[in-house]
Amino acid sequence: MPFLIAKILVLLLLASAFGAWLGAWLLRRRYVDVTSEHTLLRDEWRLWRGQVDQRLATPPDGSALAERLAAIEAAVRGIQVPPAPPPTDLAPVLQAVQGIRMPAPERVDLGPVLEAVGAIRIPPSERVDLSPVLEAIDRIRVPAPECVDLQPVLEAVGAIRVPPAQAVDLAPLTERLAALEQRLGALRFPEPPPPPSLQPMQVALQALETRVAGLDARFAALKWPEPPPPADLRPAPPPAAPPLAVRAGSRNLLARAAHGKPDDLKLIKGVAEVLEKMLHDIGVYYFWQIAEWDNADIAHADSLLTAFKGRIERDEWVAQSRRFVREGGVALKPGAG
């Protein structure tokens, strides 16, 4: 009996261990860290709410509108109305209109037509009675043209009244010009100062030339030692970067983090602490490694991250890492300077 109880206890322990392992495996496959997204949304909400509260608390400033209205009012007041043109003399127009004479139409002489019609001879076989035609021709009368009455036109032209020109008061401008002329006439320019004396400077220069001539003679008598050869001031070449310890079967997956402190890979969207540890396990410690990946490198890393397959392309790890490297503040690739 004790052996049977011990066997059952061992089986229960094995089942519990297997269940715990299975639960952890499922959790790693389905776990998505939304802490960073939640923090980012909360900060954006607070920033937006603060901006809205600040705008609501700040009263509208109408000073700019008042200044613009004042400037428009001053500009309108400063508009000078141009003087009206002098009255137009319409006497020549009236004389020209009165001198218009419409020519009377000439009376139409139908004698030749009647003679031509009377000369028409119809063959005796058919006698045509042309009396209706002659009567109709006699009844034709050209109406006399009606005389054009230009009196309404003359009255309309005579009724035109040009408004008188408004007198412009130039007295304020004349007074201002006179005041400006008085102010200009009262201006007096100060007398220029006398030119400075250069005699002390010439004496000092002469004394300096004498001393320089004495120094030239003393230096000519001295014998200077030969100057030493110029020293090599070229900067020493930088130390060679240590070679990258790359894992077998990969291009830039490192065997260890031997090139400075590892970057905080959790800055990449969608990378939590568990996934960062898995990246360290496969040899990814720095952003510059992910920034160099091509399609083959992504496929190789995907094959190693079985629980997070497809996350590299879906979350755009390469683009995010390149942005971190470009902004600075992260580890650089050895030899990149």
- Structure token digits, residue 128: 């045509």
Evaluate whether residue 312 is within a structural domain.
Answer: yes
Evaluate whether residue 32 is within a structural domain.
Answer: no
Evaluate whether residue 272 is within a structural domain.
Answer: yes
Evaluate whether residue 285 is within a structural domain.
Answer: yes
Per-residue model confidence (pLDDT) at position 316: 93
Per-residue model confidence (pLDDT) at position 234: 67
Evaluate whether residue 314 is within a structural domain.
Answer: yes
Evaluate whether residue 140 is within a structural domain.
Answer: no
How many structural domains are present in the chain?
Answer: 1
Q: Please, which pLDDT band fits residue 105 given cuts at 50, 70 and 90?
A: low
Evaluate whether residue 62 is within a structural domain.
Answer: no
- At residue 327, what are phi and psi to the nearest 5 degrees? -75, -20
pLDDT in tens, 226-251: 666 766 666 666 555 566 677 877 78
Residues 6+ apart with CB under 8 A from 53: none
Write out the residue range of the structural domain in which residue 288 sits.
265-327
- Structure token digits, residue 97: 């209109």
Per-residue model confidence (pLDDT) at position 287: 92
pLDDT in tens, 59-87: 656 676 678 777 877 877 777 656 666 76
pTM higher than 0.75: no
Q: Please, which pLDDT band fits residue 144 given cuts at 50, 70 and 90?
A: low
Evaluate whether residue 253 is within a structural domain.
Answer: no
Q: Please, which pLDDT band fits residue 294 given cuts at 50, 70 and 90?
A: very high
CA distance linking residue 286 with residue 280, whole number of Å: 9
